[in-house]
Structure 1
Amino acid sequence: MEEKKAGEKFPEYDKSDTVLSPKEQLLSAQKRSSNFKEQVIKSMAMFFVVAACILFYFALLRLSEISYAVKSFLSVAKPIIYGLAIAYLLNPIVKVIDSKLVPFFEKKCPKMKRKETFSRGVGILVSLVLLVAVIVALLNMMIPQLYTSIRDMIVNVPSQMNRFVKAFNEMHSSDSTVGKILENVMKEATTFIQNWMRTDLMDKVNEWMTQLTAGVILMVREILNFIIGMIVSIYVLFSKEKFMCQAKKLVYAIFRPTKANLILHVGSKSNEIFGGFIIGKIIDSAIIGVLCFIGLSILNIPYTLLVSVIVGVTNVIPFFGPYIGAIPSALLIFLADPVKGVYFVIFIILLQQFDGNILGPKILGNSTGLSAFWVVFSILIAGGLFGIPGMLLGVPTFAVIYYIISMVVNRKLRKKQLPTDTDSYDEQGYVQADGSYVHMEENILKEKGDEPYADSSTK
């Protein structure tokens, strides 16, 4: 072996010539596999994003067909939807009866088999009887009163028109500027009414007669759907625990435990918001209807029962409901007696102030957690998109969305070690470039030697 000459450099170390140990080879293979998996996941994510964009684009092009398909499905599934809604409304009554009957049977009849099934059957029967009784009572109150109101309007309106014409003639007899203006207005109105009666009225009558048959058929179909829905609700209430377990099982099977627990938490919170709002609003509206009936009876207002039912039913709609019910009721009373129509408007304003400031907060509390602005916002948007159902369910739906957004935002803030209290982000609060939260007022107090949140016992 030849010796190295002086000053000769050793050859560079070639890493490729080294032999890795089995453990190092395994780690290297795992690293390459991990990098390959990351690349595959990124590629798949990009593919799904592009595919979702393409599908969304084609969905927009076929929006009318999709809308028709959704409406057709909802029309077919109406009995199921009615059944789920009825079961959701009757579930609190069933739960109360179960909580009373099951302990009673365990104490009085310990050898009785299937106590829970018998108690559930009694609860469902009682709740359905109450539902049917309420519907029949409302129809018995509204239909005779509605018939009487229409009959009185037919009798009273001509006499009121005669009084108006008589007053107009007396005013016109005095040759004044007001009389001439009223004469011109009356001529224009008479010409318009005559033209309308000759052209549009007959077409409208024919259209109404055509729609009347379709309306009767539609009403019979809706009644049948409602009856089938009541049958569906019986099965749902009997098996609600099993359905809940199946849904929970499905969520845990599809999602990871953290995601599944989050979904179940949101579902539980949604049920709490919807249940508290809907049940509380029904109780609040029933009380308002009773108070309206008592007040109108004392004031001797005409159509007391009909108006009280209208005010109570429309009060279920938040914010705008009282006005929706009060406006046609006020017009109806005003046609019968203008002075009492004014009394009714004043009474309704006082009643709604009582409901909005005292009764409503006591019953509903803060079930939605929304401010007045977001309540109006949700009603306008949901009502514009989905009509009356949107006005009824828009507030709790938006409350759930608001809760989810708040939960996500607070979670992000906690990760960044920032305060979650909204009041902390006023004009004095800001976040520095290093990510730390600073409040100007607190800094000033610290410089003076005061602790803003210190306990008085430690000073």
Structure 2
Amino acid sequence: MKMKPEKNQVTWGITIFVLCVAVMLAYSVIFHGKTLTKSLTDIINGLSGIIIGIVIAYILIPLLEGIEEKILYPLFKLCGKEVSVFDKKDKKVRGTIRKIAVLLTMIIFLFIIYGLFRIIIPQLIDSIKEIATNLPIYIRNMDEYSNMFLSNNPDLQKIIDSQLDQYYENLSEFMTKKLLPMLPSADTMVKVASKSLLSIIGGVLDIVVGVIVAIYVLNSKERFSTIGKKMAYATFREDFANELIGGFRFANNTFESFIGGKLIDSLIIGVICYIGCAFALHIDYPVLISVIVGVTNIIPFFGPYIGGIAGALLLVLIDPIQALVFLIFVIILQQFDGNILGPRILGSSTGLSSFWVIFSITLFGKLWGIVGWLIGVPIFAVFYAFIAKITNVLLEKKNLSTSTQDYYDLAYIEGGEKKSLSDKNNNKFNASKEADTFNKIFNFEGIKEKLGEKRSRKEDKKSEKKDNDNA
């Protein structure tokens, strides 16, 4: 006779297994943290090509979907073949459309990478080398400007001169000893390549694997999500599986909207900055400055300030007037981005207030550096939404309102009845506010009471006089 375990036994068995795994994991983290970190690092390094491919695919998904929805599906419809996204009869045609869309997406992506390495990066290297070569001239120009404007204040001039000398010394050392050795010329390229041949081969292999993985993921992204839904409904209850899938959809929409929108927004700002610097304002090194502004603009909240200050510090060495013009231009550009372009592209992709945006950037930037600056906001937005969801579910179970505004005037809840702060009789749980320090010092409450008593006595006298007159 076969023994079939009861449902409670299976549940307890799974619970004990999960608990044992959690205890072992906690033990490993506490007592063997370095070994665990090294193992995770080795695993990540071994899967670096796949991780690169997934990241590339995730960034390119909006472009792929745009090509399909805006170009290929309407084109097939014009040719007399209307394709349904979910109809099984059109599966073969959808496959053809997807392959064409993946091909066009990868061509655009590789063309952008080619333009980056063929046009932009060489100009960046040339600009950095030229700045390093002309650094003594720029410092001398700064010294002449300071002498001209501060000739009537020798003490302040002496302080600024000493600061400029220190600034020049630090910048010169950084440019000549750290930055320039990292920029190989055409003559030394072979030597540099030969010294790091293995790392170069490994990097190239990772990129090749990444591109292949990206093509596969783009071509089969619906299959991955379908398998995930299948596993969710097979493992969990229907209501929990629905909530889980909804949560993953929310996380995906948040990341896709924020990261994709931020990249497009920063690219547009970089292009506008280059056009303005190169053709309208004739500012030196427009490519270098535009790349700085565009790249730093990816960082939420702090990015525009970092890019503007970095560009101004670079230009102040060349020409302080140019630096001032550039700062005014960047302020105007960022106002356009913050009030018009950014909201139009990003919308309310995170739903976080400015305080939580600053909090998430600071926290995840400290934990993960630049990567934390880039993905900290959407990660915290997902966490914030998760906590809000749990809070609302618990409130609904207690038949309480889920609207935040309903708790603005709430002092406390007693016996299921809401007590408001505006009612002075509700003084439990520290609901009654004491007089602040300013009022205590100047005793405004006592003054008000005296004025009230004085006003009351005057009214009593008037009433008594009126009664006497009538008598």
TM-score normalised by structure 2 residue count? 0.72
* 1:17-76: CA deviation from partner (whole Å, max 9, x where unpaired): xxxxxxxxxxxxxxxxx9x969x9789968965874564144211111111111111111
1:274 counterpart residue number: 255
Equivalent pair of 1:105/1:112 in contact (CA under 8 Å): no
Match of 1:248 among 229, 232, 246: 229
- Paired residue type of 2:47: A
1:384 counterpart residue number: 366
Gaps of 5+ in 2: 1-5, 83-88, 185-191, 426-471
1:82 partnered with 2:52: yes
Match of 2:348 among 362, 366, 383: 366
1:92 partnered with 2:62: yes
1:101 partnered with 2:72: yes
* 1:191-220: CA deviation from partner (whole Å, max 9, x where unpaired): x979x98xxx989999999xx777786465
In terms of mean alpha carbon deviation, does 145-154 or 69-78 score higher?
A: 145-154
Q: 3-state DSSP class of the match of 1:114?
A: helix
Equivalent pair of 1:289/1:309 in contact (CA under 8 Å): yes
Query: Following TM superposition, by how much is the alpha carbon of 1:231 offset from its aligned partner in structure 2, in angstroms?
Result: 0.7
- Paired residue type of 1:256: R
- Paired residue type of 1:87: A
1:342 counterpart residue number: 324
Q: How does 1:210-359 map to 2 (within 5 A)?
A: 218=199, 221-296=202-277, 297-359=279-341
Equivalent pair of 2:270/2:294 in contact (CA under 8 Å): yes
Q: Closer, same or farther in 2 for the Cα pair 1:272/1:217, shift >3 Å?
A: same
CA distance in 2, matches of 1:204, 1:103: 51
Identity %: 38
- Paired residue type of 1:314: T
* 1:249-304: CA deviation from partner (whole Å, max 9, x where unpaired): 11122212221111101011111111111221122112211221232231111111
* 1:351-397: CA deviation from partner (whole Å, max 9, x where unpaired): 11221222212221111110001111111111111122211111111
CA distance in 2, matches of 1:71, 1:372: 34
Q: Closer, same or farther in 2 for the Cα pair 1:326/1:90, shift >3 Å?
A: same
Equivalent pair of 2:124/2:287 in contact (CA under 8 Å): no
Max Rg structure = 1
Q: 3-state DSSP class of the match of 2:369?
A: helix
Equivalent pair of 2:139/2:317 in contact (CA under 8 Å): no
In terms of mean alpha carbon deviation, does 148-157 or 129-138 score higher?
A: 148-157
- Paired residue type of 1:401: F
CA distance in 1, matches of 2:417, 2:214: 54
- Paired residue type of 2:243: L
CA distance in 2, matches of 1:358, 1:41: 54
CA distance in 2, matches of 1:207, 1:360: 35
Match of 2:382 among 386, 394, 400: 400
1:116 counterpart residue number: 94
Q: 3-state DSSP class of the match of 1:319?
A: coil
Equivalent pair of 1:153/1:335 in contact (CA under 8 Å): no
1:156 counterpart residue number: 134
2:38 counterpart residue number: 68
- Paired residue type of 2:231: L
1:135 counterpart residue number: 113
Query: Following TM superposition, by how much is the alpha carbon of 1:243 offset from its aligned partner in structure 2, in angstroms?
Result: 1.6
CA distance in 2, matches of 1:203, 1:314: 22
Q: 3-state DSSP class of the match of 2:300?
A: coil
Match of 1:145 among 123, 130, 148: 123
Q: How does 1:23-38 map to 2 (within 5 A)?
A: none
Q: How many residues align?
A: 402
Gaps of 5+ in 1: 1-33, 445-459
Equivalent pair of 1:78/1:225 in contact (CA under 8 Å): yes
Q: Closer, same or farther in 2 for the Cα pair 1:179/1:252, shift >3 Å?
A: closer
Query: Following TM superposition, by how much is the alpha carbon of 1:180 offset from its aligned partner in structure 2, in angstroms?
Result: 7.9
Q: 3-state DSSP class of the match of 2:414?
A: coil
- Paired residue type of 1:391: W
CA distance in 2, matches of 1:131, 1:205: 30
- Paired residue type of 2:331: I
Match of 2:410 among 403, 423, 429: 429
Equivalent pair of 2:141/2:318 in contact (CA under 8 Å): no
1:447 counterpart residue number: none
CA distance in 2, matches of 1:326, 1:219: 34
Q: Closer, same or farther in 2 for the Cα pair 1:284/1:294, shift >3 Å?
A: same
1:415 counterpart residue number: 397
CA distance in 2, matches of 1:177, 1:227: 61
CA distance in 2, matches of 1:325, 1:165: 25
- Paired residue type of 1:376: I
Query: Following TM superposition, by how much is the alpha carbon of 1:149 offset from its aligned partner in structure 2, in angstroms?
Result: 1.6
In terms of mean alpha carbon deviation, does 357-366 or 49-58 score higher?
A: 49-58
RMSD of the alignment, in Å? Answer: 4.3
Equivalent pair of 2:410/2:421 in contact (CA under 8 Å): yes
TM-score normalised by structure 1 residue count? 0.74
CA distance in 2, matches of 1:205, 1:298: 31
CA distance in 2, matches of 1:360, 1:182: 39
Equivalent pair of 2:251/2:382 in contact (CA under 8 Å): yes
Query: Following TM superposition, by how much is the alpha carbon of 1:238 offset from its aligned partner in structure 2, in angstroms?
Result: 1.8
Query: Following TM superposition, by how much is the alpha carbon of 1:232 offset from its aligned partner in structure 2, in angstroms?
Result: 0.7
Q: Closer, same or farther in 2 for the Cα pair 1:154/1:313, shift >3 Å?
A: closer
CA distance in 2, matches of 1:59, 1:154: 47
Q: How does 1:419-458 map to 2 (within 5 A)?
A: 419-426=401-408, 428-439=409-420
* 1:53-106: CA deviation from partner (whole Å, max 9, x where unpaired): 564144211111111111111111111111112222222232233334346446
